Each structure stands twice: as structure tokens, then as C-alpha cells.
Structure 1
């Protein structure tokens, strides 16, 4: 997967500042523990991918954390909203000379290394690759050339993001991946065995 780049948007794992919608049910400490578990999982399925990898932090770059400096280049997110932050990350990647760029968040329990390899493979012969999320957004977006339109005029965090994004590229060659769920709410994880240790104290 030559000249390919993976962008990972991450939030600095700090108490009371991450997974706030989940925290409203499980509490700040548990939400932080779950987010750190998800970060570890993201490292596990990205570290051996044969692509360049850039991690974009939300608040500040942490030099000594789970993102190995030898594997991941560390950068800071720039922008007022999610759209601007993604747009600027893609722009930086294309300006650096990459031909195939995919972006993901760091809260996807249902993604694995083969999913990522498949996404990069599909991007070789498509203009775009999109991973639809169950909530009407997307968990993965890939493109071969910079298109700022995808990051403008969207109501981020709502169920219209996917359909509005697909409308922007309806005349392009798109690869749609399997629908998956990210972790935002208690309901997203309450029936998944891997999260049981975090939820023992929660009243169902």
C-alpha cells in the first residue's frame, strides 16, 4: 500500500473530557477507562498496517503515551468543528504527497486490521471509500484527491452526515464498506462481552 496514509483523530484521554455522552450513564471515570480501552484497541489494529500513520490529538501532543513515536507521527487537530479538523488533516496529507488517505476515529471496537487493509485496497481503484455508521454518520472516509466539499455544510454528530456526504460524491466511484457502530452511548456497548468488566456497577 505504497504512498498511503492513515489519519487517526483522537481525543486526549482526560477525566471528564472524553466520551461525555457515555459518561452521563456510566460516570466520568468509567467513561475514561472505556475510552483508554478503545485507544489500546485502535493501536492494536493499526500499528502493523503497512501505511504511514499520523495521529491527530485534540488538545495537545503527548510524546510519551500508547502511540509509539517510531510508528505514529504526532500532530495537533486544527479547526473549529469536526469537519474543519478532518479537512485540515486531509489537506496536510495530500500536501505531503500521499495518494491514498483514509481517516478514522479512535473509538471503533468493531474495526480490525483486515478491515483497514480492505479499505486501503478498495481505495486503489475507487475515488472514495466510506464506512457507514449505524447512527447515520461514518466511521471511515478515504479519498484519492482533496475535496473540501465533504467537510462543509454538514450537521456533525447527527444522522444526516452520511447521506449528505454521499450526495456530495454521487457521481464518483465509491466503495461502501460494511455498516459498523462506534461507541458513543451506553446502549452501544451494554451487550458486548468485552465491556462487561467496565459496567458491573451500572444498573441496567
Structure 2
């Protein structure tokens, strides 16, 4: 199995792990005071690694990826198999579709019930989210997760040990801890987000300029 495929999948999982992708996240803040300490970041990294290490062999690799995929498929099957008889009948299939439609209708009603101002603001927020994290943004996020995983795998063995995972998580914590006081505050998290956003916008502008400056492609004969 190609190394890039292994890390793309595991990278996506790590993006969902706040301690790795954003160590100042609420999930790492055990006492709920809004300030993440280095000890909390380390503890959360260890807990997240334990969750990702499905077969408990002390590393996160392709075997864990397959286990996670199998678990996801089993969960999805169970959501259809209402009577848990190991098969999905047409009635269960239709019911699942009806439930989804009902949830969608409920969501639309809640959105319509919001004030126009709130609705417009929310729409703008969602549009911005799609622009930064949507189809293309999500793929960009996958590449970001891939890069994090590649950096974490310091010995190049296509697996992430607990020590490597913890080192990477704490390195990201230290990058956010601007004043080096051993804790990450809301202000430091905001500064990190703004710096990342500015970096992303600069790269986007650079790519746009490069495309504009590129000579037109000659038509095929």
C-alpha cells in the first residue's frame, strides 16, 4: 500500500483530533477554564492516540486505518438495519431515506424560523466555510493532515508511534504558546488562526497571480 494513501487517511483522522490539528481546542482543556496547559495537551494527545491505535500495538498505521474503515462501515450498516437481523430490507432502506428527509425538513424549518438578519449572517458564514473548508478546502485540509502525518513520522517507517504523535502535538502547542508560559490562551489561539488565514490567503493570491501570468495554452492541432 502506498505511503501517501496511508497518511492521507490517517491525516484526515488527525485533523479531527483537536490536540493535533488545533491543540488549543476545548477538548484538550480538561478543567474548562479556556486555557490549555502543556500538560493538558500531552494528556489529550495520549488519549487521542489510544483511540486511533485500534489494535493497541503502540503505533498508528495501515492496520488501524483498515480497522477504522471497518468500524465506520459497520456503524453505517447498523443505521440501516433497524431490526438488527444482519440484512437490510426495502422497508428499512425506505425508512432510512424517510428519516433523512424528515431531518432535512426540520433543519430547513429551523433556518426559516431565524430572523432575516441572523439567516443572512449564517448563510454568509456557511458560504465562507465552504470557500475555505468545502470541497476544495476540505481537500486542502486533507493535504494539510497528510503533511502533519509525514512530519510526525520522523523515522519514516510509515507508522506513527505514541512518542512521535505526542512530539508532534506538543510542537504544535509550543507554536501557539507565543509567550512561552506553558499555556495557550484564547487570544493566542485567535492569533494563530489569523496567521494561518493570512498565510492561506497569501498563497492563494500567489497561485492566482501565477495563473494570470502564465502564457495561454496553444490550441491542439
TM range (shorter): under 0.3
Structure with larger Rg: 2
Question: 1 or 2 for the larger relative contact order (CA 8 Å, sep ≥6)?
Answer: 2
Compute the TM-score of the two structures, normalised by the length of structure 1.
Answer: 0.26
Higher helix share: 2
